[in-house]
Chains A and B, each alone.
Chain A
């Protein structure tokens, strides 16, 4: 099976802009979670989607949002970008809701905000 894919792999944006990141889970996986990784804060959970519904949300401002489509693909949006949003954004998929299954991660999208 193909692994989790994320597009784009690299992105450079300017403060104040918005950005959309995309994640395609492993075929058959219905849950998608997003994580932010920064040198200062480490790996932090953003949100989880299962069957097109947000099931869980981390402690991030409302500028961070996401959605999941009927084919389980997910997008994450960050509006009004700040310098501190520069990070590696990782997507993970699992067969079912995260509480019961392993998560498999994609290669990430590295976002740089200037």
Chain B
């Protein structure tokens, strides 16, 4: 069975602070994909990143970075120097085989100006 856990339900930070969103996944498959999506108040899910299980390289994209560690089954997401526009719900998701996405319950991030 597949499972994605986002233990942080809500996080509030002051603008310009760094924040890390945690994601822990469970799967018995050796081939899988991990994703992060952002859902702003408008409701549309915005794709941020995809990682496959064979690529443990961390990735940085501007103020965003992702830390993938198979040893701890974690795929954490860090926003550096947070901005008000980063306020949204962030979802971590897992896909295995021919299955569709299994989503975590999401973390609501509020960046206070």
Contact = CB atoms under 8 A, between A and B. Distances in A.
Given A88-B43, A108-B43, A43 B103 contact: yes
A33 B45 contact: no
A70 interface: no
B44 A106 contact: yes
A10 B46 CA distance: 20
The B interface, classified by DSSP as helix, strand, loop or mixed, is loop
B43 A99 contact: no
A75 interface: no
B112 interface: no
Contact of A45 (B45, B101, B104, B106): B101
Contact of A102 (B47, B105, B106): B47
B43 A103 contact: no
Per CB-CB distance, the 10 closest pairs between chain A and chain B, nearest first, are A105-B45, A43-B103, A45-B100, A107-B44, A99-B98, A108-B43, A42-B105, A98-B100, A102-B47, A102-B50
Interface of A: 33, 35, 42-45, 48, 55-56, 58, 88, 90, 92, 97-99, 102-108, 110
16 contacts: A42-B103, A42-B104, A43-B103, A43-B106, A45-B100, A55-B98, A90-B43, A98-B101, A99-B95, A99-B98, A102-B47, A103-B47, A107-B42, A107-B44, A108-B43, A110-B43
